[in-house]
Amino acid sequence: MPSPMPDYVVTRKRVKNLRITVKPPAGEVRVTAPAFVSERAIRDFVASRAEWIAKHQARIALQPAPLEPGPDANRLRRELRRAIPPLLAEWAPRVGVPIPDFTIRRMTTRWGTCNVRARRVTFNLELARREPELLEYVVVHELAHLIESGHNQRFYAVMDRALPDWRLKRKALNHGGIARDLADG
């Protein structure tokens, strides 16, 4: 059965190609279009991507609402604050770095960040709602940044050595959570 034609909002921009994005939390469809592309062509393009759009909207609908400040967030923060030190103690020697300080923050674009100079790593509070092995992956990822700050061959070599299946975990982390396709800091 073909997917129904979705509603969409068009923004005209100085871009070369048509682009469709599906925005959480409501799954709104936005189309970015060059000035010269007709309404008709945009409609045809959206229609041709209807199945892809429906799939993304379904995925977004399954995501939990973002964490708001309050008792739940406080409880999750306490849980995460307890869960992280043993992971740092276990993984810092394996990665080959000293145990860094850490903080927990609500973030919308990152699972974690690493301030190499201050030797401080920051974790997204949302990790408290994800599987423990995904938190573990982010811990190892941020520790690896203490060796190599960029996402380059050297960084991936550190990750491959420490956590050979890290790519699977990154994939799992970026699917089915509130932090949709968050970059990994």
Which residues make up the interface to Zn ion (CB under 5 A)? Answer: 184-185
CB closer to Zn ion, 31 vs 159: 159
Q: How far apart are CA 4 and CA 27, in angstroms?
A: 14
Toward Zn ion, which CB reaches closer, 20 or 104?
A: 104
State which residue, 49 or 145, has the beta carbon closest to Zn ion: 145
Distance CA 34, CA 107 (A): 32
Burial of 148 (0-12, 13-18, 19+ CB in 10 A): middle
Residue number, 100 or 185, with CB nearest to Zn ion: 185
Least CB distance to Zn ion at residue 145 (A): 6
Smallest gap from residue 60 Cβ to Zn ion (A): 24
Residue of minimal Cβ distance to Zn ion: 185
Least distance between Zn ion and beta carbon 132 (Å): 20
Give the shortest CB-172-to-Zn ion separation in angstroms. 16
